Amino acid sequence: MSEPYTYPRKGSIDDPLRIAVLISGSGSGLLSLLKHQQSNQCPHVTKLIISDNVNAGGLHHGGIFEISTAAIPLPRSSDKNQQRTLHENLIHEKLINSKIELIVLSGYMRILTSVFVKKWKGRIINIHPSLLPKYPGAHAHRDALADGAEITGCTVHLVDEGVDTGEIIAQEEVPILEGDTVEKLQERVKRIEHQLYPKVLDDFCS
């Protein structure tokens, strides 16, 4: 039986919700969020950046914006399940110690285990580059093009125990153009993601 969502408290400008952003790469979505928070009075504030990749370019945004960062790579283990559990325990401990209230996934390329999700369910939010439930998983753009779709987009959703199956919060459409490649489509969808995600977080946190 699926666990119910437990939502975070409502943030305010005077008492913003404490966010941790989880990334795996360049952090372009993270940068858009940080610029949004810097330029607007938001009911949320980024207090921690975590990456599973010690070489993630997005970690340097922490220094620029004076935000704590943590690179937490997978521990060495021959047991893959144990490895994931140990890794997520380290992340969970860091989140608790930093008094984090909401986890924002932004280009985080690891699938979270149901054990971790249950601890934070209703307090993990993700953006996916398709109009869910269409084209879940890691190859949404490829799948949309292969399907001959004329419209795709992006979806902000809560994370549950499945893969891209959580409660949908907001979506925005992006047309697929003649001659589109995965790379071209990815860039156009990414631009919309960077606009949509901060606005949805404003609404979700207030």
CATH no. for residue 29? 3.40.50.170
Q: What is the per-residue pLDDT across 35-74, written as a single tens digit (0 to 9) for each? A: 999 999 999 999 999 999 999 999 999 999 999 999 999 9
157 catalytically annotated: no
Identify which has the larger pLDDT, 80 or 2.
80
* Tokens encoding 79: 């047991």
Q: Active site residue: 44, 128, 141, 157, which one?
A: 128
Q: Is residue 104 part of a domain?
A: yes
Q: 148 lies in which domain range? A: 17-205
Q: Is residue 11 part of a domain?
A: no
Mean pLDDT of 67-90: 95
Q: Is residue 158 part of a domain?
A: yes
∠ CA(8), CA(132), CA(172), 5° rounding? 80
Q: Is residue 186 part of a domain?
A: yes
Q: Is residue 189 part of a domain?
A: yes
Q: What is the DSSP string of 109-143?
A: -SPPPHHHHHHHTTSEEEEESS-TTSS-STTHHHH
Q: Supply the pTM of this predicted model.
A: 0.97
